[in-house]
Amino acid sequence: MRQIREIMARAAGAQERLDEFVRVLASNMLADVCSVYLERSNGDMELCATEGLAAKAVHRTRLRPGEGVVGQVALKAEPLNVEDAPNHPAFSFQAETEEQGIVSFLGVPILRGGRLLGVLTIQNRTKRVYDDEDTETLQTAAMVLAEIVVAPELAAGGEVFDSIALRPTGEERLEGRGVADGLAVGRAVKHEPHVPPALLLAEDPDAEAVRLEAAIKRLRESIEALLEGRGSAIEGDSREILETYRMIAHDKGWLARLQDAVRLGLSAEGAVERVRNEQRAKLLSARDPYLRERLHDLEDLANRLLRHLGEARGYTFAAEETPEDAILFARTIGPAELLEQDLDRIRGVVLEEGSSTSHAAIVARALGIPVVGRIEGVLDRVEAGDLVIVDGAAGVVHLRPTTDAMETHQQRIEQRGERAAVFERLKDRPAVTVDGRSITLLLNAGLTVDLAQLDRTGAEGIGLFRTEFQFMIAEKLPRQGEQRTLYAAVLDSAGDRPVTFRTLDLGGDKILPYLQMDREENPAMGWRALRLALDRPALLRTQLRALIIAASGRELRVMFPFVTTAAEFSAAKARLIGELDWVARRGHEPPTKLEVGAMIETPAIAFEIDALLETADFVSVGANDLMQFFFAVDRSSPRLSDRYDILSPPALKFLKLVREGCARADKPVSVCGEVAGRPLEAMALIGLGFDRLSMPAAGVGPVKRLVLGLNARRVEAAMGELLESREPSVRGALQALAEEMGAPL
């Protein structure tokens, strides 16, 4: 390994390095032959360097996958140890190599990041039984070789290497699911600890063994601390995963493989990387979902171990250097991890898993970073530095795009830029229809990063501030002081513009690992939002106090989520009033004005709206949840997402009923939820008489542009007829109307 390290350190040409590598390895392993085969772009294995076979065969001998014993190693990505190769069923004689009389064969795959780069072999003229130690040594050498092979010098190693697939080549168009809208072009970066080649090999194996042991000990301790330190707070899936981690961290096989690798000359980091590589290669061929899950666990654990090792060295295994225009690739990413990134450099995110309801997706949307999820195996098809296009709207990723694809996308990016410029010009114009109806456009927000959007979009206030985001991003329950700081910052940046704070909407798909919640069959209809808050008085109390104190001397608008009965709302409001007294007794100046509202998210409360509005000052229609329950369709199910249309007579009639209830009581009503930010849907809502719409930042510009071209009275009149239509959707009719009026959608 020392000699190999020297080869790596020496600045030499690609071929020279490979030649020297096989020479050193052959002599150290007492082999008559040592050869390196590398994969060509068509999948063939090409002999690229040899000690012992005829030199003229180099760059000439090529084997198809599965052809010969070398092809077998490549096909299965597993070591193959054959005492008598010429009699092996797969044996294929290559005359130009002059390999007559060579009988024993040991071959191992050259893997990097789970991807097969080639095959490394040793052979002997006499019958020789290679033992496990030989295989281990060869695998270790293959891992180091992989680093030599992908080094830029080899990639630029001259014509003979041109067709060698050292990195994935060629354009690939991969379809996943759009998780956060947007379009970006950039360079791939992998979000996983990466061991630089210089740290792979050890100076002193004994010292490395000690480092490895210490890191494993710390790893185990940290898992125990997670499992026990927080009491029984971790439940359900999180606990199950941690318990699996604990099991693996004590698994003898896993530890033995790590220790063996260190014994053979790798650094502790190198050992972890090697074992991780092999696991990845297995993962690629595993079909069984349970096995895949376990292999993922192993990988996560290896990453943790690398971080522990790095800490001890005072080294951070950051993802490979983050370029200015990074596209981040990860299996999955948490919201906190995403926020930890150098966000000025991240242009897009590609995930092997991930769904649009994931918390990271919500954060990415707030940051305006496009995300495409559910592209299995993408980490193995991309190399750091590859050019990538991420199309969050279409849910498509282009790896190594051709010039044509780049041009098309560049045009689309420019078109988007032009559109953004149009919206920017509309920013300060009031949203008033052609016939003089004023529409209030508000923002949905939840993170401090959203606040800048108020000025950027020209929204008139925040119609929905999702307070649970702060809780979802935190490692532990935010204290009253932390909550207060956030709320005060929101009010500060809103200035005169109104802000409606929604109290915690936890449960459903918004799970906090640190809060004990039982697993439910139907979490969306379970113990969530206001139900949970009413049952957990301390949680609600803390938040209400934080809100009241933050709004001291200013106006406070509080809204309760997921109200199902008027009585629930009254109970919640009573708590708020009670806390108002408590805060006043503590000497804080009270808010100048208090408005308390309810979200209409369940059909039940829509039919009790008169009673509700006797005590509520305003309501907001949470159309995401309301439609989920109206149509009985899971809002996070991608299969059903296009099945029912809010622009259908029954749904629109239902919304009208809510609007009329509010008109009877003369109380303001808004619509929040994603639909309010879509021009056509917004038009329908305006036609139903809604004049307050709260939406994601990206919706404000397009909706304002529409409003400016709309004749509200005409839309209202048309809606009257459309509500009686027998069509399953009135989308087409509304579109035609918008066109007739010249209102841009």
Closer of 114 and 699 to ligand PEP (Cβ): 699
The minimum distance between CB 625 and Mg ion, in angstroms, equals 4
The minimum distance between CB 675 and ligand PEP, in angstroms, equals 8
260 touches Mg ion (CB under 5 A):
no
Tokens of 652: 């629109």
Closer of 18 and 504 to Mg ion (Cβ): 504
In what order do the strands lie in the sheet containing 396-399? 172-175, 396-399, 387-391, 183-190, 326-330, 346-351, 371-373, 177-180
Closer of 383 and 505 to ligand PEP (Cβ): 505
134 touches Mg ion (CB under 5 A):
no
391 binds, among Mg ion, ligand PEP, none (CB under 5 to 8 A by kind): none
Residue of 34, 48, 662, 672 marked active site: 672
Rule CB under 5 A: choose which of 622, 661, 677, 701 binds Mg ion: 622
Name the 3-class secondary structure at 628. Answer: helix
DSSP assigned state of 376: T
Tokens of 289: 């979902």
672 binds, among ligand PEP, Mg ion, none (CB under 5 to 8 A by kind): ligand PEP
C-beta of residue 167 within 8 angstroms of C-beta of residue 146: no
Closer of 317 and 569 to ligand PEP (Cβ): 569
Closer of 330 and 623 to ligand PEP (Cβ): 623
- For tokens 């401090």, name the residue: 448
400 binds, among ligand PEP, Mg ion, none (CB under 5 to 8 A by kind): none
623 binds, among ligand PEP, Mg ion, none (CB under 5 to 8 A by kind): ligand PEP
* Active site annotation includes 359: yes
Closest of 448, 485, 445 to residue 462, by C-alpha: 445
C-beta of residue 507 within 8 angstroms of C-beta of residue 532: yes
Closer of 329 and 560 to ligand PEP (Cβ): 560
Closest of 492, 409, 377, 468 to residue 185, by C-alpha: 409
C-beta of residue 451 within 8 angstroms of C-beta of residue 489: yes
Closer of 332 and 624 to ligand PEP (Cβ): 624
Tokens of 328: 């981040």
DSSP assigned state of 513: T
Amino acid at 682: A
The minimum distance between CB 622 and ligand PEP, in angstroms, equals 3
The minimum distance between CB 623 and ligand PEP, in angstroms, equals 5
Tokens of 174: 């991969």
Closest of 437, 333, 393, 388 to residue 713, by C-alpha: 437
The C-alpha angle 18, 22, 24, rounded to 5 degrees, equals 115
Give CA–CA dist 524/510, Å, rounded: 10
Give CA–CA dist 443/458, Å, rounded: 9
The minimum distance between CB 562 and ligand PEP, in angstroms, equals 8
The minimum distance between CB 557 and Mg ion, in angstroms, equals 17
Binding site for ligand PEP (CB under 6 A): 464, 466, 505, 601, 622-625, 672-673
Render 189-224 in DSSP notation, one character per residue: EE-S----GGGSB-S-HHHHHHHHHHHHHHHHHHHH
Strand partners, 506: none
330 binds, among ligand PEP, Mg ion, none (CB under 5 to 8 A by kind): none
Closer of 466 and 678 to ligand PEP (Cβ): 466
The minimum distance between CB 694 and ligand PEP, in angstroms, equals 8
625 touches Mg ion (CB under 5 A):
yes
The minimum distance between CB 604 and ligand PEP, in angstroms, equals 15
φ/ψ of 696, rounded to 5, equals -65, 150
- For tokens 């522990």, name the residue: 308
466 binds, among Mg ion, ligand PEP, none (CB under 5 to 8 A by kind): ligand PEP
The minimum distance between CB 681 and ligand PEP, in angstroms, equals 12
Tokens of 700: 């404000």
Residue of 191, 359, 398, 409 marked active site: 359
φ/ψ of 404, rounded to 5, equals -60, -50
The minimum distance between CB 679 and ligand PEP, in angstroms, equals 18
Tokens of 438: 């004023």
Closer of 51 and 505 to ligand PEP (Cβ): 505
Give CA–CA dist 605/274, Å, rounded: 59
* Window of 65-73, 204-212, 597-605, 734-742 that interacts with Mg ion by CB under 5 A: 597-605
Instruction: Name the E strands within 126-282.
Output: 172-175, 177-180, 183-190
464 binds, among Mg ion, ligand PEP, none (CB under 5 to 8 A by kind): ligand PEP
507 touches Mg ion (CB under 5 A):
no
For residue 284, the number of C-alpha atoms closer than 13 Å in the C-beta half-sphere is 20
φ/ψ of 588, rounded to 5, equals -80, 145
Closer of 259 and 624 to ligand PEP (Cβ): 624
Among the residues of 341-427, which ranges form H helices? 359-367, 403-426
Size of the site for Mg ion (CB under 5 A): 3
Task: Name the site residues for Mg ion (rule: CB under 5 A).
Answer: 601, 622, 625
Active site residues: 359, 672
